[in-house]
Structure 1
């Protein structure tokens, strides 16, 4: 290595050191800590492997009496300090070890949004085990697919979903111990144990260091909007955090934040943001089930400062009647992050018109982590942008031959960064087909402008070819959403004997509004090229979505003509 190369490496390391120092200072993470707290943290850290869970252990030692979790579950509100959270995590870790869980093992979690979910994820990380996240809306055959693929050795399940879980286990013939949350378990069942009873019998001290595994991780099953879900396998030890730190600095995330969780924790975005906020020592406020007015009530009561919401939630919030909005004080909100599904410019504009310029939007996926970030003013000045790439990211826009497209041209978006998953669990073919030269794609199609801002056009499989012309439904959907009577829109391609494909629009109207098919078509004709107008318009009460807010276009394609 030449002297010039060594100097370049040194400069890069110094730049990273200065950058992370700025993040720590701006986020107010570094605070005074008693010597006894330092000693407690050091002793505990020796019993576990490196990973982001060490930050939670540090905050428990540094300020054990600070509020860590506030949980709203119907009429019940539960509060846990960092010290209480730490002890409960240790109790669950001991209970899992007693039931055969070891480093490198996998444990299925089928739980609603609650403190038990966060405790389970942290307990598994301390043991070096992997969480297998299962959506609580899934049916037995869907659960069975995940159990067959992931082969978890134990399960933590809420009593409400126990029947579906047991049916799924019968289908695949796989067992293992189950801890049941929120329900009574009849004595004598060798498979089942009450969660509370198991924790009460366990030690609150740090569990012993286990052999095996590489520090734990998580397997998140993708939404399956185009077919069977794939298990995105993320190892904590192999995950970098430069893009996360960049987001923390740009958005202004802080240790004194109070973060409202509204999205399902079994997906990827919600637990990722919880992990970010907990690593800063912030307070997590859990809403068991999202309702827009109830969310405003929690924001007011808890002086919530920030939240992650999918665009559907933002639309529902901004669509509340003015008299309802006037009842609540949301002035404590400093930032709201949109993610997990495309955010239309009109949805962003309407939200900020009501709540102020506090809306950020990130692009990323379960497989790629955080890739780009757009700020509140970007939505207005650059309609449709997903922002600029975050630190640590490389992005390529490629054509079908794998060649990079020119600036302004549309190509499939491939990203490479330290937060990429290690692959799809038990599915090497899917892993290989999603990568090119170490860059990962989830099938999104985008473009880059001359100032470094990225824009999404559509998913690659959503692109419509009509009369030999490529049409990206996202552009038409964004245009339709600007109509004052339209709440949401989705556009798909349908077979046509003359054109190959033509466009069909599905429209959800705002309360009290009415439109005809002709009016919708004419609105597109007035603002878009003629070939981009839908030939068929269907009005629905709501669009079919998965739990993270993504429109299930495969269901729309099956909709009767």
Structure 2
């Protein structure tokens, strides 16, 4: 089906109302036509509550049809939509709602907040299903805490044009970066939609005319079962998911046909080379990777065959992006030398809502730093070392925790691991590894010796952990991000 002349969700839904749009977490199916009707009704409902261009709507919503409806309704009214993590405390949610000045808050039945409306039914009730007048593109405003302090909204200027006018540019960008195109494709949502990448991929799957299959949470075997059942062609995942699927017994992995997969896009955290290679050995060359941040969006990207030729790279600058590596003195570094990564793009800038000082502090002129350390090779491919805030300096030598974690994760007895630097009078910092053993593995001195022996041929001895301790669970977000700062704080407080 050729959608080139009907760009974007709203036009596709009007032209092809019977097309399947969403398969919800409980298996409920919604067509493009029915979804557009609900989106339009909610759009009229938001207008009826007095919202106008530039106002803010927040959603504390689980994965499901309501989250999709809010995304697409605000997207044609010139509103800012703030998806909020439902795992936050009541006080944390209240802070974001105050800071963003949300005029309407939509919640799930299990995530209610004072003044919030449960679900989209109330907004839609009694409203017409036709398109609202004066349609104009909205924007999603994600809240990110970065490394310290209270979270801040990453706010971009509204485009000031109908969605149909701006969709082609972003569709072109996604096509260039991850080979996604309009057509008869099936997209699998594996992560909470309050995070930027899963939210963006859901939105653009609908702009491409794809069918969106939504999971309530990640379960490794269930993901494989859904891929086989719905013949999923593309999905967005994170490295922790790959690691957990590789830990499934061989007979379980072999049960499921995943040959329909063509693009599995991953981001959010560094992926150990061995883990990515094993997934490609299993699924074929289908892993697309991009690197960026909520602020910079997709700044670097790499397709499967380029990665296989340069294992470990996160790619070259994405279309419209430029990049450079700066040393501590602010001077640009040559290829091969690690430094702070800076990027800029012609696709628009951002600001932290209500915090011009934080905005200015993250910029060097037009250049923004995500706060990560990396280096470019001679061909302009970026290799990440670690976050600047996670860097361990021991005996005057820079040690990158991600490199040690990648080595330990290659051992089958390791389910998860966090490597941190702990203050030491002699060395400055010592390397400490907190290991979550795989199911059925006994923690103890024998396992420690085995892990250190395993590190021998993989990383230099000065990088080996001085201390290995064991944990039942390590704190990761639902998208797989590990908070080393939280792990470090708990360790230093003696929470062992």
Distance 1:437 1:131 in 2: 28
CA RMSD of aligned residues (A): 2.2
1:101 equivalent to 2:54? Answer no
1:204 equivalent to 2:204? Answer no
Distance 2:187 2:48 in 1: 34
Q: Deviations over 1:201-257 (max 9, x none)?
A: 1110112227xxx84212101155544222111345188986762441453323211
Residue in structure 1 matched with residue 163 of structure 2 by the alignment: none
Per the alignment, in what secondary structure is the counterpart of residue 8 of structure 2?
helix
Per the alignment, in what secondary structure is the counterpart of residue 493 of structure 1?
strand
Residue in structure 1 matched with residue 403 of structure 2 by the alignment: 475
Richer in helix (by share): 1
From 91, 105, 124, the counterpart of 1:141:
91
1:77 equivalent to 2:27? Answer yes
Per the alignment, in what secondary structure is the counterpart of residue 27 of structure 2?
strand
From 25, 30, 35, the counterpart of 2:4:
30
Distance 1:317 1:524 in 2: 23
Per the alignment, in what secondary structure is the counterpart of residue 317 of structure 1?
helix
TM-score when scaled to structure 2?
A: 0.91
Residue in structure 1 matched with residue 293 of structure 2 by the alignment: 365
Distance 1:410 1:197 in 2: 53
Distance 1:462 1:420, change over 3 A: farther
* 8 Å Cα contact 1:369/1:420 also seen in 2: no
Per the alignment, in what secondary structure is the counterpart of residue 418 of structure 2?
strand
In the TM superposition, what is the alpha-carbon distance from 1:292 to its structure 2 partner? 1.6
* 8 Å Cα contact 1:368/1:420 also seen in 2: no
Distance 2:470 2:42 in 1: 49
* 8 Å Cα contact 2:292/2:370 also seen in 1: no
Residue in structure 1 matched with residue 180 of structure 2 by the alignment: 253
Q: How many residues align?
A: 483
Residue in structure 2 matched with residue 126 of structure 1 by the alignment: 76
From 458, 463, 474, the counterpart of 1:532:
463
In the TM superposition, what is the alpha-carbon distance from 1:521 to its structure 2 partner? 3.0
Distance 1:236 1:303, change over 3 A: farther
Distance 1:452 1:243, change over 3 A: farther
Distance 1:484 1:294, change over 3 A: closer
Per the alignment, in what secondary structure is the counterpart of residue 521 of structure 1?
helix
Distance 1:472 1:399, change over 3 A: same
Distance 1:525 1:135 in 2: 40
* 8 Å Cα contact 1:259/1:307 also seen in 2: yes
Distance 1:499 1:430, change over 3 A: same
Unaligned 5+ runs, structure 1 = 1-26, 34-53, 167-174, 182-194
Distance 1:416 1:200 in 2: 44
Per the alignment, in what secondary structure is the counterpart of residue 126 of structure 1?
coil
Distance 1:357 1:388, change over 3 A: same
1:153 equivalent to 2:153? Answer no
* 8 Å Cα contact 2:78/2:158 also seen in 1: no
Per the alignment, in what secondary structure is the counterpart of residue 490 of structure 1?
strand
